[in-house]
Structure 1
Amino acid sequence: MYLFPAIDLRGGNVVRLLKGDYNEQTTYGSDPLAQAQIFEAAGSTWLHTVDLDGAKEGRMMHLPQIASICKNTNLKVEIGGGIRNTETIDELLDAGVERVILGTAAMQNWEWFAGLMDNEKYHNRIVLGLDARKGKIAVAGWLETMETTALEVAIKVSDWPLAAIVFTDIATDGT
């Protein structure tokens, strides 16, 4: 198991939501790069980032901030939230992101997701984000819950060339 410091982005700020509730937000600062540099100075080598606006809107909203972190630190960055197409994945990788986290896009467009795994370019660069509420997959910024369980999906992809699977129990996130 690996533990990464995390930066959640909303409105350009570093925030944390309580149990995924957009109305229960704590703001930690307005400079994501400065926060990333604090984590790096503390000895971190990886940074987990989530574009909360992107997750809710269905498109990446904080690419400039993520690119700045990649350019101005030596952190290996993984990013999720609002990544719904191959073009966005490529933009993020070109900006220096090490790994791209797919959750909603993978769950709602399984054939596309499986096709990514057929392309060696994405081997070990894609992380499957399994966010669950009472064991069932939640998508679209955790605003919708599916009938499929996280365990069912994890078993299905167990031999795929994913970089990792990131599991989030929404009931405990931000607590």
Structure 2
Amino acid sequence: MQHVKIPQDRIGVLIGEGGETMREIESKAEVRLDIDSENGSVAVETIGDPVLGLKGPDIVRAIGRGFPPEAALRLLEDEIMLFDLVDIDAAARNKTDMKRKKGRLIGEGGRTRELMEELTGADVVIYGSTLGIIGAPREVEVVRSAAEMLLDGAPHGSVYSFLEEKHNEMKHQGMEYHQFSGEQS
């Protein structure tokens, strides 16, 4: 059994209307969730396939870090799917710097975050002091690199060029990129 702590304001999303989301996670990941809505603690117990059960805590963590349940459940699509977090706070000197760095990752009107998703096929969410990524290993790696470049102060144009280049490499290498992003080849 694993224990995951999620923010209070995400518990309702994890449970879902009438417990619907919680039941869907339990059924698809073959786990049992024991949610303490007082303190945000979630006990995740594997009750079926142990490999699926290993994804249970990450699904709960992903929802806790701002992902909609549908995106978090993508972790079950394939055993190589990953959930990763970039700690924005660790790269910031103070609260003002934290806000600025978070703004750089989001971009004007959310454009930078959207480009990370479009050009990699990963799901990207910025919530609190973290940037969350769900995708195949290469997708996650590219988003993490782009985020770290922005946090280190790289110009947006350079990061966009980097994302374009990696997007073309992934397409060229014949990765199952389109399968993950839902695009047509």
TM-score class, shorter: under 0.3
Larger radius of gyration: 2
- Please give the TM-score of this superposition, normalised by the length of structure 1: 0.26
Hey, which of these two has a bigger chunk of strand by percent?
1
